[in-house]
Amino acid sequence: MFHSSSRRVFSCMDSEKIILKNLSQSEMEEWVQSLGHKAFRGRQLFQWIWEKGVENFSEMTNLSKDFIQELEASSSLELTTIHQVQTSESQGTSKFLVRLGDGKFVETVLIPEAKRATVCLSSQVGCALDCDFCATGKMGLKRNLTSGEIADQLLHVRRFSDRPITNIVFMGMGEPFHNYDQVIRASDILNSESGFAHGARKITISTSGMVPQIRRFADEGHRYKLAVSLNASDDESRTQIMPINKKWDIAELVKACKYYTELSKNMLTFEYVLMQGVNDGLGDARRLLKIANQVFCKVNVIPYNEVAEGYLRPSKKRINSFLEVLEGARFGVTVRWSQGDDIDAACGQLSTAAITENG
């Protein structure tokens, strides 16, 4: 039956309406059957919402007028709205301030590059993990997003973008595996042939290291890519910047990562945000080499985007020295210079803490 999250009371209405975007395709089929219609009408409805991105029931041209009237009376396509869009003049990155139905906000980022266009989705309002270097973590956790609120972000960006979206990453606000069920439901919408039809290997879910969820992700056999934010190569440093390390230290995290890669046969990505004097020394690089050599992985080195007091981006000379230690490793190494830092849209900079619930 339908998830409880699929129902939401609108303050402007006397009765409760079904929020269709919070339904999976199978739930939508069940729901239209409960109204006395055949299941294929649910599939059509799902396609109109996600594949075609219509904003009004009247645009659903293969549905009867009577059915459309029934939909208008019992359900809603409304879920989130765009409050503001900022675009970097130098880099072309766009940041979307998305207003949720309860007045809270999240941020979504579109990153256009030469051969691809990546959308960075948020999964929570704020974050509970309190990573010391991350603006989102300073907000605390306000609430989880529903699958519909997550997928709706992509609808907004797709309407705005003048080019096809090629890649989707769950690296916006929140810890995706702290909202595991809704993130997987949203990913299934993004991947569905009746939804956005994005290939599973073009969808990446990131985690700060929630070990039970990494193992569950492996056990459930999801084909989406997995990225793990490592950000330090010794427990003392990692605990300083990522309190989650107190619960699952690096050794436990590596075991879970190996479990995932060995069971799934899929490569994972270690994300390593490079911060001056914290995790950018030659010893840090040598320990990272040993860690990553244990796992079927690649490593993304991300020079820090300055957000929190006390953390700085290393000099290019120091970055290059760090990378030299990793040369010849049996895993791939890339350097990801985050885009959109001039509009606070780069990695670690997303935050809506200063925005009131009234906008």
Rounded Cα gap, residues 281 and 50, in angstroms: 47
- Asked if 244 and 235 count as a contact pair (C-beta separation under 8 A), the reply is no
User: In b/e form, how buried is each residue of 278-314, taking b as 16+ CB within 10 angstroms?
Assistant: bbbbeebbebbbebbeebbbbbbbbbbbbbbeebebb
- Asked if 165 and 117 count as a contact pair (C-beta separation under 8 A), the reply is yes
DSSP letter at 71? H
DSSP letter at 316? H
**Contacts within 8 Å (CB) and 24+ apart, 1-7:** 1/27, 1/30, 2/27, 2/30, 2/31, 3/27, 5/146, 5/147, 5/182
347 as an active site residue: the answer is yes
Nearest residue to 277 (alpha-carbon basis) of 322, 242, 235, 339: 322
309 as an active site residue: the answer is no
Give the rounded distance of the alpha carbon of 54 from its chain centre.
Answer: 23
Rounded Cα gap, residues 267 and 281, in angstroms: 26
Beta partners for residue 85, in sequence order: 96
Active-site residue identified among 120, 127, 134, 347: 347
Rounded Cα gap, residues 83 and 357, in angstroms: 12
Rounded Cα gap, residues 158 and 85, in angstroms: 13
- Asked if 50 and 194 count as a contact pair (C-beta separation under 8 A), the reply is yes
Rounded Cα gap, residues 210 and 256, in angstroms: 9
Nearest residue to 312 (alpha-carbon basis) of 270, 348, 282: 348
Active-site residue identified among 27, 29, 107, 175: 107
Rounded Cα gap, residues 114 and 81, in angstroms: 29
Q: Which residues are catalytic?
A: 107, 347
